[in-house]
């Protein structure tokens, strides 16, 4: 709802001139910003971003054992990245026997995409 507020720097030069138009408060409050930033942060790693890219393009759920050879990192590290994505709400997983299946939860991404406009 964008409340305006006034502020002028203490220096009044050039005489009486403002340094810029009055600024508006952020539309996104701190809480929403924290949520959006959480998603953005989770995407802020090349491997995680590629992971999401693969999972998104893949219709169904993808087994971890298929993901490992795609990336030049160890399996524990990949597991760590998947956990980060899960904690950010970007992906979720199911276990079936020995295998673990990951899939994208589009809502989180849509939220960020919506803000980006």
**What residues line the site for its own copies (CB under 8 A)?**
2, 7, 9, 11, 13, 19-28, 30, 33-34, 36-38, 40-50, 53-54, 57-63, 65-67, 69-70, 97-99, 101, 109-110, 112-113, 115-117
Q: How far is the CB of 77 from DNA (least distance, A)?
A: 4
Q: By CB under 7 A, how many residues form the interface with DNA? A: 33
Task: Report in angstroms the alpha-carbon separations of 67 from 1, 34, 43, 58.
Answer: 44, 30, 17, 12
Contact between 49 and DNA by CB under 7 A: the answer reads no
Contact assessment for residue 114 and residue 62, using Cβ atoms and an 8 Å cutoff: no
60-69 CB burial, b ≥16 within 10 A, e <16? ebbeeeebee
Closest CA to 39 of 83, 76, 78, 84: 84
Pick one of DNA, its own copies, none as the site partner of residue 103 (Cβ within 5 to 8 A by kind): none
Binding site for DNA (CB under 7 A): 9-11, 13-15, 19, 41, 44-45, 47-48, 63-65, 68, 73-84, 93, 97-100
């Amino acid at each position: 709802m964008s409340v305006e507020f006034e502020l002028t720097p203490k220096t009044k030069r050039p005489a009486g001139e403002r340094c810029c138009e009055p600024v508006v408060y952020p539309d996104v409050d701190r809480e929403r910003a924290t949520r959006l930033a959480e998603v953005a942060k989770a995407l802020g790693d090349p491997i995680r971003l590629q992971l999401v890219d693969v999972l998104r393009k893949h219709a169904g759920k993808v087994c971890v054992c298929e993901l490992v050879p795609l990336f030049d990192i160890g399996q524990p590290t990949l597991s760590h990245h998947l956990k980060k994505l899960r904690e950010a709400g970007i992906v979720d997983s199911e276990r079936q026997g020995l295998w673990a299946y990951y899939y994208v939860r589009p809502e989180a991404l849509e939220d960020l995409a919506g803000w980006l406009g």
